Amino acid sequence: MDYWLAEIITIGNEVLSGKTVNTNASHIGRRLTSLGFTVRRITVIMDDVNEIASAFREAIDRRPKVIISSGGLGPTWDDKTAEGLAKALGVDLELNKTAFNMILEKYTKRNIPLTEERKKMAYMPYGAIPVENNEGIAPGIYIYHNNIDILAVPGVPREMENVLENFINKMLRNKPNLKYLEDFIYVENVMESALAPYVKELVKKYDIYIKTHPKSYELSRPILEIQIAGSGREEEEIKAKIEKVKNELVDVIKKLNGIIRNSL
Amino acid sequence: MDYWLAEIITIGNEVLSGKTVNTNASHIGRRLTSLGFTVRRITVIMDDVNEIASAFREAIDRRPKVIISSGGLGPTWDDKTAEGLAKALGVDLELNKTAFNMILEKYTKRNIPLTEERKKMAYMPYGAIPVENNEGIAPGIYIYHNNIDILAVPGVPREMENVLENFINKMLRNKPNLKYLEDFIYVENVMESALAPYVKELVKKYDIYIKTHPKSYELSRPILEIQIAGSGREEEEIKAKIEKVKNELVDVIKKLNGIIRNSL
């Protein structure tokens, strides 16, 4: 298999303390996966300049094709992503004129003065390109560094999704020419441990990804969701491979007295 | 403030690809926070021995008091947490007799033979102590290493919660004698950027954690959730401080023509 690695960074104490479930990372993960990327790591860190700088530096050192962070771009004292990213890249934080004009326009349209806190959202690492945010104020921050597409989006889900799409459509340079496909089988009455040796064999035989997700009790009432996933250049080829694996799995399941279900 | 740092590691490709939302990390984060820990980092990694070993090694190097991982303890080919943890600690993976007996008992009770895949769940890093899993088969893995409490729990939520509680009640050595408290204010009609300078000042004045979570549009219909949180040795002291901060915030909100709401 051919890999286009991606990393996701989530910035926010509320995710660390469990107050907020990290649905932003799931959304970004799904979107990147659908484009053909393999997400290799998600890192959740505090709203702290040094933590943010470390997380970006560590991700850059692992050399993925794309790094996407969410959170920490707002007007408050604890929004420190721009500063942390600048530190990671070893460049200055500066007032970005394009970003400044984007923000100024939004406030002046409504006759709201541009305070220091509002202006703060226009500060970006040197060399950054602001990404339009049609759902809020703070623009995204895009930098192409060491052949890596680096993007920082706001943490508010609606804004995160919007800025991410604007980035994918207009700026993303490392576009994998890969398709990703997946299919599922739902099974009752087969223990995960009983299926395990067959799955292991099929993974080897087809060089494909198969994962069993137990959804109930292994012993008394086993229910499994079996995920079969592959990526490659030719959609038809992956589809055919997944179909073959599915058929072999269904045969095994029947042999083990399993019942195929239409859904969970 | 006094910090008892904790780290969480989530192991599973399905979380990286966005198929599964990381509610396990939220649960563990909330539970650790309620005990007085500060969760400093959550790392999500692939089901890969080297990735698992790196993630544990990196977490150990940051010297938290506790590290809790979830996922990768099952019977299938891609369950590699025990092996990765052993590699991180530089010790052998070995058949743990206590774990073996726990597993054997569960299967034999139901007249199910112990295959290689089922026996696999009894392999643990040298020196590990198995943690009872009352909701499934695979025991948790507990190791006290370099003054850090390290725990690996299964990924199935019901099992994760059970093993975590068994660990907290019977094994956790680094128990913070800290209380954590938080309170919220819900506000309509105040922009996050308008409140920002006041919040910054209060954070400094009281050495407390205040975070504004925007829940709507900054310009047209701003709704904010304001979180005020603190931890310390004396519950009454933290409570009083949070109350003071709340009162000051309410005054500011009224000055800014904000409306206090009972909920979001």
SS3 A105: helix
The dihedral built from the CA positions of residue B38, B264, A107 and A172, taken in this order, carries a sign that is positive
Q: What is the pLDDT of residue A2?
A: 59
**Mean pLDDT confidence for B240-259:** 95
* ipTM for the complex shown: 0.88
Burial of A261 (0-12, 13-18, 19+ CB in 10 A): middle
Q: What is the pLDDT of residues B223-236, one digit of tens each?
A: 999 999 988 888 99
Distance CA B83, CA B77 (A): 12
Distance CA B156, CA A225 (A): 13
Q: What is the pLDDT of residue A71?
A: 97
**Mean pLDDT confidence for A99-128:** 95
Q: Residues 53 to 72 of A: which have CB under 8 A from any B CB?
A: 58
Q: What is the pLDDT of residues A121-167, one digit of tens each?
A: 999 999 999 999 999 999 999 999 999 999 999 999 999 999 999 99
E-strand spans in chain B? Answer: 5-11, 38-45, 66-70, 93-95, 123-125, 129-131, 140-145, 148-153, 179-188, 209-214, 223-232, 259-261
Model pTM score: 0.88
Distance CA B69, CA B82 (A): 11
Distance CA B188, CA B181 (A): 24
**Mean pLDDT confidence for A205-222:** 84
User: What does pLDDT average to over chain B?
Assistant: 94
Give the one of A17, A39, A203 whose C-beta lies nearest to B33's C-beta.
A17
Interface test with B, best of A41, A218, A252 (most B CBs within 10 A): A218
**Mean pLDDT confidence for B43-47:** 97
Contacting residues of B for A135, CB less than 8 Å apart: 217
Distance CA B32, CA B167 (A): 12
Q: What is the pLDDT of residue B2?
A: 58
The mean-pLDDT minimum among B76-90, B149-163, B198-212 falls in: B198-212
Distance CA A221, CA A139 (A): 50
B221 CB within 8 Å of a chain A CB: no
Residue B34 Cα, gap to closest chain A Cα (Å): 9
Banded pLDDT at A250 (limits 50, 70, 90): very high
Q: Which residue has the higher pLDDT, A3 or B246?
A: B246
User: What does pLDDT average to over chain A?
Assistant: 94
Contact (CB, 8 A) for B160 and B188: no
**CB–CB contact A196 B44 (8 Å):** no
Residue A216: pLDDT over 90: no
Q: What is the pLDDT of residues B108-132, one digit of tens each?
A: 998 999 999 999 999 999 999 999 9
Give the one of B10, B14, B107 whose C-beta lies nearest to A213's C-beta.
B14
